[in-house]
Structure 1
Amino acid sequence: MAPTSQPLPAGEQRGSLDSSVDSNALEKAAKKEPAAGVTQNEFDVYGNEETADIKYRTMVWWKAAALMLAETVSLGILSIPSVFATLGMVAGCILVIGLGAIATATGYMIGLFKLRYPHVHNMADAGMILWGPVGREVLGAAQVIFMVFICGSHVLTGLIAFDTITSGASCSVLWAGVSAIICLVLTIPRTLDGISYLSVASFISILAAVFITMIGVGVAGHQGGVTVTANLSFASGFLAVTDIIFAYAGHVGFFTFIAEMRKPEDFSKALYCLQVADTTLYLVVGIVVYAFAGPNTVSPALGNTGTTLRKIAYGMALPTIMIAGVINGHVCAKLVFIRIFRRNGVKSRHMTTHSWVGWLTWIGICFAIWTMAFIIAEVIPFFNDLLGVISALFASWFTYGISGIFWFHLTWSRRTTEPLNILFLY
């Protein structure tokens, strides 16, 4: 195909992209300049918001970073100490650092893909560009299922937290229901900007909880020896690695976060803040808790202390358990909501106005998501097993696999003229 200087219309597919075309497209995308033959509604998922009642593109980069931290660190950090206990100290550190570095690169590629195609709001839109209608349906369904399972893991963790705090004063079904209802109520705001402030509280919450846990295991002293390496079965090693993958599995919501930023080109700032913070926290918490708890390390990590400190830690962690689940539920609901009210690049007024149809649809979608999450939490009532199922089915693909395809899509035509491009992301 002959190179052209015009960016592609929304939804058009092409397997190659000239380097000059790529640069021009990224520049135009960053400046919000519509390309020839592309309407404004096709060019941006929310269209012109000047007269909109509900404005979505309001987040600055640090709010996006807060959302990403709350979404990613919340449950992922709770499984890391048990990963170190399974794999050994050396392998645990290598995998946390290595997979974190790769997650940074793949997240950066998602940002580039979004700038190249500003109308992309979710993985379904990306699938439409890569493989047409079939790709849209496959990636869209996979994203919805993945995020519903993540919501289920938050309901399960909420159940564990309430049960621990109350010393089993009531049945698990009740606490799962309470967790799901709280998350449902907090998911109702229609924009991520409103949830971003809750994300700050969520991050402080998980920090306080893990610090209490580290202090608790430190006071209790060493409970057993620490292994540098480990002899383990394929199944246990595989489950441990998938737990680390889940700890970096925030990429599935990146397109939606960027779509609601004032300046999408600032996404890299938020990404670097996320990756530095989560990799550092995973290393510190994993090493400290495992060093003191030894082979008796349990998951979630907050259970490694005595009864009193365990209750305090879970009490401090409740905000992050709920709010991080809300972020995932919101992104999932937004995908379905946009799919309903955006047709062929043209948005419905119900997306940006306080109409009864818009609000009832939004609340109905949120209710369905958290109902399914409640059912999943009751069906798979084991924390590590649920994380392993989610990671094996979806997390590794969305966090590490799909970005490689984005890279090939953006740079395919340069493979012969610039062979060294295979070594670089951009």
Structure 2
Amino acid sequence: MRSVQEKPTPTTREVDPARVDSGEGMLALPDVERVRADVTRRASVVDDAFGNEEGAQVRYKTCNWVQTALLMIAETISLGVLALPQAVAHLGLVPGLLLIAFLGIVATYTGFVIGQFKEAFPGVCSFPDVGFLIAGRFGREFMAVSSILILVFIMGAHIVSFNLMMNWLTNHATCTIVWAVIGTLVSFIIGMPRKMSGLSWTSAASCISILIAVLITLVALAVRAPSPGNVSAVVSTLPLHSSIVAVMTMILAYAGHVAFFSFLGEMSQPRDFKKALAFMTTTTCTFYMVIAAVIYYYAGSTVTSPALDGIGNPTITKVAYGIAAPTIVVAGVVNGAVAAKYIYTRYWAGTRVIHERSFKSLASWYFINAILWLVAFIIAEAIPNFHVLLSLIGSLFCSWFSYGLPGGLWLYMNKGRWTSSKRKIALAVVNAGILCLGATICVLGTWAGAKALANGEGGRSFSCGDNRSH
């Protein structure tokens, strides 16, 4: 039986009413009186999951903004950049690059909304907390299931990347399922640290590895390209569902929002989150546009997904995959840590177990991680096609966590004040539009992904076959 300690009375940050009334800043905060009323109404959720860490054996709130930025980049950039060149090829260079830029701008804005929501409700440490704050117990459970599903699906996508990498490195020396099992075990072992700060430096290695791997890909494509520049400004002949799948791949490139509350919860100075967000989104958006355009320019319409498969020289492809290995593993591990941390802190809420180095605390942490990676393995084997799996993740989940839900959070924070000023009216329209954008993406993307699966594009489930592109 877990011993539950009495929770402290929730508190909220003081907000300057003059600043709220004037609409100062891009994201006007709600008035402090209503914030207090809402926090009090949901007192059981707004308590900080980690509580007072003074004297604790394990302290979680230790990440500075640089470490947080590295975690955000490692979580976001790997799968997206490997799939974007083909997505641009399917849509055409002009709409492809415009969409990457547009989605990046919107993702930056919605990230700031999440940061503002955390400032207004300091105890919120996850989207399930948000769900409970807004819609009670149903909202919490619905958001908990949704959050864990997107994170586990992304973990599964990284297992697919791992067995693809191993098939390249070994020339498909054994059954692909064996590589998937090994990838699952490696990810589980690397994901053992309980603190995000413990993963931040492996995230730095992840960022460096994907940069070098992509540069190798660019050089190899530039050297071998027989006629570079064979690109289309706009592609109008692709089936509708294939075009939507390409857009979903771009949306997944900005899929980090589901983890933002978790990262905020482990920052020593949460107000520095905006620095980490600005650094991450500027880096990723620029990187995505440059890499997608240049690889498409040299590879043409035959560009593959992941892009490393299309180098054309097996030896160079092996080198690129070997260097990209930290990214392929670490990005999945970061998502796994976020999912496990929510389950872990919720189960041990109100106790000191999460701050201990005891058998109980460690065994439960390892058990939760093992179950999550087992489910991710099953997903990876059920949908082994890389770009179709990414499309499903983007449409079912990222459409909401990166776009739709943050728009709804702004409307919730400012309810009753949407028409209080011209700035508020404009922001209300923008955020309502973002909410509708998320819903539209979800509906169209799910239809396109289902059609792709019905057409057999998902690949053979639990197959020993070689999954490389040739």
Q: TM-score, normalised by structure 1?
A: 0.90
Return the offset for 1:37.
Answer: 11
Matched, 1:266 2:272: yes
One-letter identity of the residue aligned with 2:120: R
Q: 1:5 maps to which residue?
A: none
Q: Note if contact 2:153-2:393 (Cα within 8 Å) is conserved in structure 1.
A: yes
Greater shift in the superposed pair: 290-299 or 40-49: 40-49
Instruction: Please say if 1:168 is aligned against 2:172.
Output: yes
Question: Structure 2 matches for 1:219-368, cutoff 5 A?
Answer: 219-223=223-227, 225-231=230-236, 232-305=238-311, 306-342=313-349, 347-368=350-371
3-state SS of paired residue (1:178): helix
- Tell me the amino acid that sits aligned with residue 60 of structure 2: Y
Correspondence for 2:205: 201
Q: Which runs of 5+ in 2 are unaligned?
A: 1-8, 13-18, 22-27, 432-470
Give the C-alpha shift of residue 419 in structure 1. Answer: 4.2
Name stretches of at least 5 consecutive residues in structure 1 with no aligned partner.
1-7, 12-17, 30-34
- Give the direction of change, closer, same or farther, for the CA distance of 1:41–1:229 in structure 2 (3 Å limit): closer
Q: After TM superposition, give the deviation of residue 414 of structure 1 in Å.
A: 1.2
> In the alignment, what sits opposite 2:410?
407
Give the 3 Å change call, closer, same or farther, for CA 274–222 of structure 1 in structure 2: farther
What is the one-letter code of the residue matched to 1:395? C
Listed one character per residue, the Cα deviations across residues 120-169 of structure 1 (whole Å, up to 9, x for unaligned) are 11110010111111110101100001111100000000000011011111
**Preserved contact between residue 129 and residue 140 of structure 2 (Cα < 8 Å):** yes
Matching residue's letter, 1:230: V
The amino acid that maps onto 2:348 is: F
Q: 1:356 to 1:25 in 2, by over 3 A?
A: farther
Instruction: Tell me, in whole angstroms, the C-alpha distance in 1 between the residues paired with 2:338 and 2:331.
Output: 11
Shift of the alpha carbon at 1:422?
3.0
User: Do the aligned residues in 2 keep the contact of 1:109 with 1:403 (CA within 8 Å)?
Assistant: yes
Q: CA deviation at 1:25?
A: 4.7
Displacement of 1:106 in angstroms is 0.3
Partner in structure 2 of residue 4 of structure 1: none
- Is 1:44 equivalent to 2:51 in the alignment? no
Q: Which amino acid aligns with 1:394?
A: F
Q: Which residue of 2 aligns with 1:77?
A: 81
TM-score, length-normalised on structure 2? Answer: 0.82
| 1:308 shift after superposition | 0.9
SS at match of 1:412: coil
2:60 counterpart SS class: coil
Residue type at the aligned position of 1:81: P
How many Å apart are 1:38 and its aligned residue? 10
Cα distance in 1 for residues equivalent to 2:89 and 2:162: 24
Is the CA contact 1:293–1:304 (under 8 Å) kept in the aligned structure 2? yes
Encode CA deviations 1:197-236: one digit per residue, 9 max, x unaligned: 1000000000011000000100012457210001122101
| Structure with bigger RCO (C-alpha 8 Å, 6+ apart) | 1
Report the CA distance shift for 1:48/1:9 in structure 2 as closer, same or farther (over 3 A): closer
Q: Output the CA distance in 2 between the equivalents of 1:10 and 1:163.
A: 53
Equivalent in 55, 59, 63 of residue 63 of structure 2: 59
What's 2:124 paired with? 120
Q: Where do 1:140-155 residues align within 5 Å?
A: 140-155=144-159
Give distance in 1, aligned partners of 2:32 and 2:47. Answer: 12
Q: Percent identity?
A: 38
Q: Are the equivalent residues in 2 in contact too, given 1:68–1:274 (CA < 8 A)?
A: yes
> Aligned pair in 2 of structure 1 residues 374, 41: CA closer, same or farther (>3 Å)?
closer
2:93 matched residue in structure 1? 89
Alignment partner for residue 423 of structure 2, among 395, 414, 420?
420
Q: Which moved more, 1:221-230 or 1:122-131?
A: 221-230
In the alignment, the residues of structure 1 paired with residue 358 and residue 393 of structure 2 have an alpha-carbon distance, to the nearest angstrom, of 36
Deviation at 1:351, TM superposition (A): 1.0
Q: Does 1:180 align with 2:164?
A: no
- The CA deviation at 1:42 is 5.1
The whole-number CA distance in structure 2 between the counterparts of 1:245 and 1:82 is: 14
Give distance in 1, aligned partners of 2:175 and 2:320: 21
Counterpart CA distance in 1 for 2:44 and 2:370 is 32
Matched AA of 1:405: G
Distance in 2 between the 1:256 and 1:55 partners?
14
